[in-house]
Amino acid sequence: MTDDPLRFAPDTAEVRTLYALTPDGFTAWQDGASEPHRAWAEAAEFQGKPGQMLVLPGPNGAPEAALVGLGDASAQARTRFSVAAARATLPAGPWRLSGDLDAAQLDEAALGWLLAGYRFERYATSPAPTATLVVPAGVDAARLEAMAAGEALTRDLINTPARDMGPADLARAATTLADRFDAQIAITDGDALAEGFPLIHTVGQAAGEGRSPRLIDMTWGNAGPRITLVGKGVCFDTGGLNLKPGASMGLMKKDMGGAATVLGLAQMLMETGQPIRLRVLIPAVENAVSGDAFRPGDILPSRKGLTVEINNTDAEGRLVLADALALAGEEETDLTVSMATLTGAARVAVGPDLAPFYTDDNGFAQALSDAGTRNADPLWRMPFWAPYETMIEPGIADLDNAPKGGFAGSITAALFLRRFVTAPRYVHFDIYGWNPSASPARPKGGVGQGARALFAAIEGMV
């Protein structure tokens, strides 16, 4: 039996069966069950509702099998990873999944099971589940294990407080990942950053010694489509001189969620050996307050040559991404993706569970949406609405980083970033990166969004 809760268990003679059942499926199960098991389920009032779980005893009283409810079609549409809810309470040992699951549902159940094994234990330990799952027939175990491991990396990075996850720490995490997969990595900081990436340098220059800004540039693979992932790495965001109120600052350790997500996605791609040429760019900064902080009203140069008027220092994520996207455009790519915990407007529009994305490529948008559905990674397409372009054109400079008025904040941020992109296929994600309350396979805390959908869509490109 494996000791890694993010991996499947080997098949052994001691495997018991976990039946995943809809209400109708439970009725059918009763017809073939033993009389003691039928009576036990009836006494427990098991009905196949989502999240219901019942252990069935054998003749000697030891656990022999178990039931977990899926609910009807309406309930299933409202609940992801229902089977995963059983993992924490099932008796220890290997289990085999059976019941009312088609191939897609079996994949989701197996993935959810692995994701439910995640624990963040850097500062305090918590009991890991002792129930394990034998690989269901037809499931690609290595692929799902890679997804779970990549998601665990993303969650770990987001959950780590900014004291221990500053720009230098984020660079070390990227270097560790690069070393594991024999990727190349370069870190630009100091004078070279100030000269070549003025927006990244300016946003991060107030953080002081030991937390100075840098650009992380990792490359892997030498054949296949060129994929460039750009992740916002704002390790903590005070808002700068436009200081956030305390209530808004409490979760700002997650403002590097874009960087954490692209690193998790990169791990998935490298671990499964995808035939691609991968590049990961992360502007890693801390938006701090000091005498060196940039100011509202400043006009800043960018790597691309466009000037930016600063109307709010709390709209810093698009600034650091802009320089990184400009660098990405200096080489040919088949796909450029930017990933950021960028705007509160996106959170208000679609809530914490949906990942909004922008692209002008209708075919790839459909591929992404389909991949999100297949991989329990819900997405929602948003428009690059051209009539709003004037909102980011202040007149005194080429671009405005924070248009006044409060309208369409996510769209104007996406339009701002698109000005720095030259790739023919570009996708921007404006994610939340945080699960505000626990749900099956998704504990409260940092969470990856869009990575599994992108992973599957990229698989479709090779």
pLDDT in tens, 72-108: 999 888 889 999 999 999 999 999 999 989 999 999 9
pLDDT given at position 2? 60
CATH superfamily of 146-459: Zn peptidases (3.40.630.10)
pLDDT given at position 208? 87
Give me the half-sphere count of Cα atoms (radius 13 Å) on the Cβ side of residue 402.
Answer: 20
pLDDT given at position 146? 98
pLDDT tens track for 104-124: 999 999 999 999 999 999 999
Q: Kindly report the number of other CB atoms within 10 A of residue 374's CB atom.
A: 14
pLDDT given at position 127? 86
For the segment 272-282, the average pLDDT, to the nearest whole number, is 98
Domain regions of the chain by residue span: 16-139, 146-459
In this model, does residue 1 exceed pLDDT 50? no
Question: 0.95 cut: is pTM over it?
Answer: yes
For the segment 273-280, the average pLDDT, to the nearest whole number, is 98
Percent of the chain surpassing pLDDT 70: 100
Is 432 within 8 Å of 341 (Cβ atoms)?
yes
Is 20 within 8 Å of 97 (Cβ atoms)?
yes
Residues taking part in catalysis: 244, 318
What token pair was written down for 207?
A: 């953080």
Which CATH class for the 16-139 domain? alpha beta
For the segment 381-387, the average pLDDT, to the nearest whole number, is 97
For the segment 41-57, the average pLDDT, to the nearest whole number, is 94
Strands (E), 214-305: 214-220, 226-231, 233-237, 277-287, 299-301
pLDDT given at position 375? 96
Is 295 within 8 Å of 287 (Cβ atoms)?
no
Which residues, 6 or more positions from 311, have their beta carbon under 8 angstroms from its beta carbon? Answer: 296, 297, 394, 400, 401, 402, 403, 404
pLDDT given at position 233? 98
